[in-house]
Structure 1
């Protein structure tokens, strides 16, 4: 049986120009495409993000995941990160954002997950939409009408997040389930990209660079060239074939690589 959703992927990461360690970790193998941005200092963030990715890595090779499976993986990841804090690694914590492949009645779906301020976007019909919603102080101020989007980019509180995995936070993740379409392009990134590269440039690259690996490499390079003040990670996931109904598979003209295979604040941290 062919999978409900087949994708082509690319990913890239860079420590940036001001950080010794890369506290970002990521997983880009079907059915899981997620980025974790660690926090805590003294290697705590690096270990926290790695622990989360290790937990989700056990799902590699499955055709799809259900929401309960994702929630279980997140629960186990949270327990691992909390162990790091009690073992003396300070307030170890990490964000998590991305998508997993899901199937509903044999049809291909994206299941998006987010906790913290890493982000998940979808490019569809030539329009870029941010799927995730930041769990951050500045996002709450934007929602309350007390801060503009333009001013938020330079606000001194922009690195204060209101939910995380670990870091004394008990806030849960947000989830979204939506049908996949042939031609969908998902981008998952740490804030090392969005804090350096304007949305207009991100859209330009996603529109003009068909190969997902090339697009990921280019976006990371742009962030480094813009200053690289933080770790930078980008995952690109393209839907190249989607089951629109049981037994029916719609395909794009691209080659299919079968091997590429809301919101309450509770705790938080500063990265």
Structure 2
């Protein structure tokens, strides 16, 4: 894992976005098939899957295509979906893509001001997650595209039973060498004090939602929070690659709380 640093982008006269991200191979994997992009205004995590080098090909191809979108300065749902179509072609054409299960999850947020009022757009394909900390509560914004989530939604499985279910790693949607389903999107109001956690399931396998909130409460700086969560995930077993980005909205004073004008 490279040194984690906090980066900042000023949105307007009052607010700025501050973020940090990191990835680690974990303690039991031979390679790291996760990849991430943290480049304003787009912050995404991709968790690759597939035999041999398949997962790494899928995640890095997807992140590369999305990085190009940021470089062009046209981040939108349309440009993201066009990039994902190109990524699917890249994955299919790669000489080392031989496993039919090759693909990657993709989840994250981007800041959209297309309608004149900046707002976050959360996007998701697969079972990587986006959480939002607001008013000292942690809420999972994304819905997993997985077999166990479908069973939970159908009332056939409890969230507690899902954790140890034999199909817990089987996802129902991915970016890969097959027909692409578009991401799910959720719009979230831009508010000072909000903090997003964007992560692969290597984090959520090792930390509960309360554990994530605990480390957010104890670390105001995004880089320090990332490092604390990553260290805890590795200490708790590190059974998978672990990747996370923390993105937060602050006033220019550096506070994550909205300052009262009264």
TM-score by length of 2: 0.87
Change over 3 Å in CA distance of 1:79–1:132 after alignment to 2:
same
2:224 paired with 1:253:
no
Deviation at 1:109, TM superposition (A): 0.8
Which is further off, 175-184 or 111-120? 175-184
Q: With a CA cutoff of 8 Å and minimum separation of 6, indicate the structure with the bigger relative contact order.
A: 1
Change over 3 Å in CA distance of 1:63–1:7 after alignment to 2:
farther
Which is further off, 125-134 or 167-176? 167-176
Cα root mean square deviation, aligned: 2.0
Tell me, what secondary structure is at the counterpart of 1:58?
A: helix
Q: Deviations over 1:23-48 (max 9, x none)?
A: 00000110110000000021110111
Q: Give the one of 98, 117, 121 matched to 2:131.
A: 121
Q: Distance in 2 between matches of 1:88 and 1:188?
A: 27
Report how many residues are paired. 244
2:215 paired with 1:205:
yes
1:172 corresponds in structure 2 to: 182
Q: Deviations over 1:175-203 (max 9, x none)?
A: 11222101110110000000111111111
2:3 corresponds in structure 1 to: none
1:156 corresponds in structure 2 to: 166
Whether the aligned pair in 1 keeps the contact of 2:194 and 2:248 (CA below 8 Å) is yes
1:131 corresponds in structure 2 to: 141
Whether the aligned pair in 1 keeps the contact of 2:91 and 2:176 (CA below 8 Å) is yes
2:109 corresponds in structure 1 to: 99
Deviation at 1:88, TM superposition (A): 4.1
Q: Distance in 2 between matches of 1:158 and 1:13?
A: 22
Q: Distance in 2 between matches of 1:141 and 1:52?
A: 29
Deviation at 1:252, TM superposition (A): 5.1
Deviation at 1:73, TM superposition (A): 1.8
Deviation at 1:69, TM superposition (A): 1.7
Change over 3 Å in CA distance of 1:66–1:172 after alignment to 2:
closer
Gaps of 5+ in 1: 241-250, 257-271
1:238 corresponds in structure 2 to: 248
Deviation at 1:167, TM superposition (A): 5.2
2:192 corresponds in structure 1 to: 182
2:105 paired with 1:90:
no
Change over 3 Å in CA distance of 1:38–1:231 after alignment to 2:
same
Deviation at 1:207, TM superposition (A): 1.9
Find runs of 4+ consecutive structure 1 residues off by over 4 angstroms: 61-64
Tell me, what secondary structure is at the counterpart of 2:131?
A: strand
Gaps of 5+ in 2: 1-9, 257-262
Deviation at 1:53, TM superposition (A): 0.4
2:231 corresponds in structure 1 to: 221
Deviation at 1:93, TM superposition (A): 0.6
Tell me, what secondary structure is at the counterpart of 1:60?
A: helix
